[in-house]
Structure 1
Amino acid sequence: MRFIMLTVLIDMISIGLIIPVLPVLVGNFTGSQADQAFWYGVVAFTFGIANFFGSPILGALSDAYGRRPVLLIGFCGLGLNFFATALSTALWMLLVVRLVGGAMQANVAVANAYVADITAPEDRAKRFGMLGAMFGLGFIIGPIMGGLLGGINLRLPFYAAGCMSLINLLYGYFVLPESLPADRRRPFVWKNINPFASLKALSQLKTVGPLVAVIACSGLAQFVLQSSWVLYTTFKFGWGPQQNGWSLAAVGVMSVLVQGVLLGRLLKRFSPQRLAVIGLISSSIAFALWGAASQGWMMYAIIFVNVFGLTVTSSIQSIISSAADSHSQGKTLGAVSSLNSMMAIMAPMIGAPLLGVVSHLPKGDWRIGAPFYFCALLQLASLILAYSHFQRQRRTRLANTIT
């Protein structure tokens, strides 16, 4: 577990480095805030659509040939992506680079499958929480470094991120062990890597099919948040790369605290199902409050209060993983990643236009929070769907017990 945790940590630091500065880099090629929002949405869209089609292929390859080689491909793809982004001098170059980078990057799905390989079903929620803590720690270190380096030179964080990816490539090649033994691998079949087919198979998993809609709605909310955060805080509070770096680091601190320290204790008191419901309630409220925030400090206050909201992903993911057999973890979690990639495609198509419509409003105007109000509605829909599904399962179990 310590090997994959370190791998994910380095990976997340490299990704976190560029988050505070990528929207600003896009803004250098545009003439207005509305154009900046639009073209940043297009850049995010290209990465998402490439990742949507690439993730199931790489997930299936990891089932056939092992997790380690596919992770190495992802590290190599990220490194090339970061260096090429740093050297981009026009918007079309950014689009091409993000397209290639998205197609080669499925590290999240493969890392989750790696954890599932080495963990008993009853311990997966806790282990996914530990992995989530590494994501959070990476998002503490990465955005702070990105904000500070971006204050020196806007392209410096991309070079730093590329170097981190190369470090991960070397670490993975020389140190990271394989988690999937040969007797648990399954042949690679092209017809099985259609992302839409993998989503259909995901919806047919016993006892969790309806949760696909929950993953979709909740994932869309998270990606709208991620794709809108930097531009939203820039438009509403006038924040630059450094302020955004610190705010994203605060999210990382809470993620580490909740998923690395509190999640195990919470799971002793709550089932993954109940924890998911409580988390969705917390997230719905948090999104609405972020949108309504009138001062920058309020964003931090909401981040630190939204404890249960940070447990949703690990809780739902453990339920999905436990429903898949040991031979299909890569494909199943690759399908989850594809679903998230589909949401990542849709998110900038929603968040960017919403920001573009309100970009002319004065700083501090509550209407600039339009993307976050939309996210709150999505989380509310996820809550209703999840609660209804878990209630149906509970009634079915009771009926079977009586019978």
Structure 2
Amino acid sequence: MPRIGRKVGAAPTYGIGAASVNYTLIVILLEYSAWGLLTMPMIATLKETFPEEPFLMNGLAMGIKGILSFLSAPLIGALSDIWGRRLLLLVTVTFTCLPIPLMFVHSWWFFVIASFSGVFGVTFSVVLAYVADVTQPEERSRSYGVLSATFAASLVIFPALGNLLMDMYGINAVVLFATIIAAMDVLFVWLAVPESLPKKVRTSISWKQVNPFLNLRRMDSDKSILKLCLIISLLMLPAAGEYSCVPAYLKLRIGFDFVELSTLIAFIAFLSIAMNMVLGSLTRAFGAKRVILVGLGLNMLQLLLYSFGTEKWIMWMAGLVAALGSMSFAALSAYVSIYCDSASQVVVQDTINGLSSLCNGLGPAVFGLIFYLSDMDLSEGPSTNVDQFQEHTVAAPFMFGAICVLIAILVAISIPPGHESKGKQADLSEMHYVIEM
């Protein structure tokens, strides 16, 4: 058995050494470290750049990026099948990191370029293809899990580090540090990463490959699959919207300072990693359907806490519940592995990934628009205009999300329990989840 991260016959033409998973870990760590450093500076810059409607502009910027990523991901994947992973990895890393130094030039241009960088900013899609090239099928789940842990680790460490640097040296120092890391990432791909896809197995491009809506059309092939897709959409739409706005919401509306905010982000990320590590045990003990229902219930509860809470301790409680409910998407993927036969497994998973990517674009835009329509984009913080803030104790975007998840729970009640009773029990000890930023 070849060691993880190496496949016989995949000799590189460029780079250093043989293609392996280790290269993708470094690429992901550098990319998300650079962006993680900017978490707190981006919130401060967002308020200064768009003082009248920060949530709306934040939602539109992230929404445009997500939708463009959804539309372009199949094309990038098809091109990597033709030209190789290394070239497309270089392109996606370059465009993903391109907006970072623009914070030096003009913050308005930073948000514009960050939005449209989504056309090529799909590094994770190419990375997953790279991992598939260099691993055996039985090793792949473990490798994807390590990738997810690397991504999550960047969320634990680098927002807090960026906040510390901002306090000590100012925003420009953080941007400089992030720019250096981003440049190191591009240079690493260019000089060190070897090709993983041999020329003899490369394919030609077809319309089916680049059509992002192709897999979505297959949802009606099975009523249970259609229900699963509906549940995932109703879960991921508010999850993506929440992810895009919660840090800014806690800072600008609830009054969190940057230290509290970075600590809360690290706490949620760390606990989320722990929850997903025990997902396999929970699923074996209680069944995938029960775990899904519990996860959805926790997601609805944390959205309700964000909707009605005005105190910091309530937001910490919401963060705790959010971390516990983070297993929902992975549990749904686990359910698919139990419910679907091997022949339809890839198609269903591709459909789920397509829906997730689409929600990653629509969610931030929808939340930003609801914030704007509900008059939550006030220039004053909660401490300067308490009466006006109290009129908006129900945060409409989070209430919208809670209603979406409630519908998802009602749909999930009706899905079959899976095949556990028939003796088909998947090994879920290494289930993973991936969040595309």
- Which TM class, normalised by the smaller chain length? 0.7 to 0.9
Equivalence for 2:64: 46
Deviation of the 1:103 alpha carbon: 0.9
Deviation of the 1:183 alpha carbon: 6.9
Match of 1:22 among 42, 51, 55: 42
**Quick check: 1:301 aligned with 2:321?**
no
- Structure 1: segments with no counterpart, 5+ residues: 399-403
Deviation of the 1:271 alpha carbon: 4.8
Distance verdict in 2 for CA 1:206–1:119, change over 3 Å = farther
Deviation of the 1:150 alpha carbon: 3.5
Which residue identity does 1:353 align to in structure 2? L
Match of 1:76 among 94, 99, 105: 94
- Correspondence list, 1:81-92, <5 A: 81-89=99-107, 91=108
Q: Whose radius of gyration is greater, 1 or 2?
A: 2
CA distance in 2, matches of 1:283, 1:29: 32
**Quick check: 1:107 aligned with 2:123?**
yes
Equivalence for 1:379: 405
Deviates most, 61-70 or 376-385: 61-70
Equivalence for 2:262: 245
Equivalence for 2:11: none
Match of 2:30 among 1, 6, 10: 10
Equivalence for 1:289: 305
- Correspondence list, 1:272-283, <5 A: 272-283=288-299
- Correspondence list, 1:164-203, <5 A: 164-176=181-193, 186-201=203-218
Deviation of the 1:377 alpha carbon: 1.9
CA distance in 2, matches of 1:48, 1:288: 25
Which residue identity does 1:385 align to in structure 2? V
CA distance in 2, matches of 1:228, 1:345: 13
Distance verdict in 2 for CA 1:150–1:119, change over 3 Å = farther
Given that 2:303 and 2:402 are in contact with CA atoms closer than 8 Å, whether structure 1 keeps it comes out as yes
CA distance in 2, matches of 1:206, 1:175: 47
1:208-267 CA-partner distances (Å, limit 9, x unpaired): 4442222222111111111221232124322244432222222221122223x4234334
Distance verdict in 2 for CA 1:279–1:328, change over 3 Å = closer
Residue 105 of structure 1 aligns to a residue in which SS? coil
Given that 2:100 and 2:110 are in contact with CA atoms closer than 8 Å, whether structure 1 keeps it comes out as no
Deviation of the 1:137 alpha carbon: 0.9
CA distance in 1, matches of 2:186, 2:222: 34
Deviates most, 5-14 or 212-221: 5-14
Given that 1:232 and 1:369 are in contact with CA atoms closer than 8 Å, whether structure 2 keeps it comes out as no
Given that 1:17 and 1:161 are in contact with CA atoms closer than 8 Å, whether structure 2 keeps it comes out as yes
Deviation of the 1:341 alpha carbon: 3.6
Residue 82 of structure 1 aligns to a residue in which SS? coil
Deviation of the 1:78 alpha carbon: 1.7
Question: Normalized against structure 2, the TM-score is what?
Answer: 0.75
Residue 250 of structure 2 aligns to a residue in which SS? helix
**Quick check: 1:139 aligned with 2:159?**
no
Equivalence for 1:401: none
Given that 2:224 and 2:415 are in contact with CA atoms closer than 8 Å, whether structure 1 keeps it comes out as no
Distance verdict in 2 for CA 1:84–1:216, change over 3 Å = same
Distance verdict in 2 for CA 1:66–1:227, change over 3 Å = same
**Quick check: 1:94 aligned with 2:110?**
yes
Distance verdict in 2 for CA 1:136–1:63, change over 3 Å = same
Deviation of the 1:9 alpha carbon: 2.9
Question: Normalized against structure 1, the TM-score is what?
Answer: 0.80
CA distance in 1, matches of 2:375, 2:192: 49
Equivalence for 1:223: 240
CA distance in 2, matches of 1:226, 1:216: 15
Equivalence for 2:429: none
Given that 1:203 and 1:210 are in contact with CA atoms closer than 8 Å, whether structure 2 keeps it comes out as no
CA distance in 2, matches of 1:74, 1:341: 16
Equivalence for 1:344: 360
Deviation of the 1:311 alpha carbon: 1.4
Equivalence for 1:258: 275
Deviation of the 1:143 alpha carbon: 1.4
Given that 2:310 and 2:393 are in contact with CA atoms closer than 8 Å, whether structure 1 keeps it comes out as no
Deviation of the 1:84 alpha carbon: 2.5
Deviation of the 1:129 alpha carbon: 4.3
Given that 1:129 and 1:314 are in contact with CA atoms closer than 8 Å, whether structure 2 keeps it comes out as no
Given that 1:147 and 1:244 are in contact with CA atoms closer than 8 Å, whether structure 2 keeps it comes out as no
Distance verdict in 2 for CA 1:199–1:321, change over 3 Å = farther
Which residue identity does 2:59 align to in structure 1? G
CA distance in 2, matches of 1:74, 1:375: 31
CA distance in 1, matches of 2:255, 2:263: 14
CA distance in 1, matches of 2:41, 2:117: 17
CA distance in 1, matches of 2:414, 2:345: 27
- How many residue pairs align between the two structures? 390
Match of 2:249 among 232, 242, 245: 232
1:347-394 CA-partner distances (Å, limit 9, x unpaired): 233222333324357557472533222222222222333342334x66
Deviation of the 1:206 alpha carbon: 10
RMSD (Å) for aligned C-alpha atoms: 3.8
Distance verdict in 2 for CA 1:164–1:380, change over 3 Å = farther
Task: Answer 1 or 2: which has greater helix percent.
Answer: 1
Residue 81 of structure 1 aligns to a residue in which SS? coil
CA distance in 2, matches of 1:53, 1:175: 29
